[in-house]
Amino acid sequence: MAMFKKVDDDGRPDIASPPRIGQARPIRSKNVSVIGPTLVFKGELSADEDLIIEGQIEGTIAHHKKNLTVGKQGRVKADIHASSVIIEGQLVGDIHSEGVVSLAKGADVKGNIFCARIVMEDGARFKGKIDMGEPAKIEVPKELVQAKSVQAEKVSA
């Protein structure tokens, strides 16, 4: 028994972040929406809660500050913008994430990935490019650079 584990009104764990790859997840939680396997959606999809897609989506998915999972039955043809992304099913489109993108064993992704971190399990299929951005450049103030060069000249003289 976890001492500080959050639970919802039904006694089930409250999901604040997406499950890890291979981890069992509840079908429903008050903070997660599920698009079921029989649902077909075309257009622009956005939500203000975590989302699990088991159906078919075509268009764009704008989920900027939330977590998105394309489940094993999920079939998505869309560009995805989400905080973190887990792909277990099929995706044709680009992924844009500020956080981590995880490709599970059965994932099939055709598109580019732009993210801070990536996890790819053995058996995941991926065709495209990965751009993890450039590391932040540290700017040194000119005064500090000039002071260091003056000190170096004194030492070498």
How many domains would you assign to the chain? Answer: 1
Distance CA 81, CA 65 (A): 9
Q: Confirm whether 10 is domain-assigned.
A: no
Q: Confirm whether 69 is domain-assigned.
A: yes
For the chain, helix (H) and strand (E) counts, in that order, are: 1, 13
Q: Coil, helix or strand for 65?
A: strand
Q: Confirm whether 18 is domain-assigned.
A: no
> CB neighbours (10 Å) of residue 58?
15
Structural domain of 85: 32-156
Distance CA 82, CA 21 (A): 17
Q: Confirm whether 27 is domain-assigned.
A: no
Encode pLDDT of 114-139 as tens digits: 999 999 999 999 999 999 975 544 45
Q: Confirm whether 1 is domain-assigned.
A: no
Q: Confirm whether 90 is domain-assigned.
A: yes
Encode pLDDT of 47-93 as tens digits: 888 999 999 999 999 987 889 999 999 999 999 999 999 999 999 99
Q: Confirm whether 133 is domain-assigned.
A: yes
Q: Confirm whether 91 is domain-assigned.
A: yes
The pTM (predicted TM-score) of the whole model is: 0.68
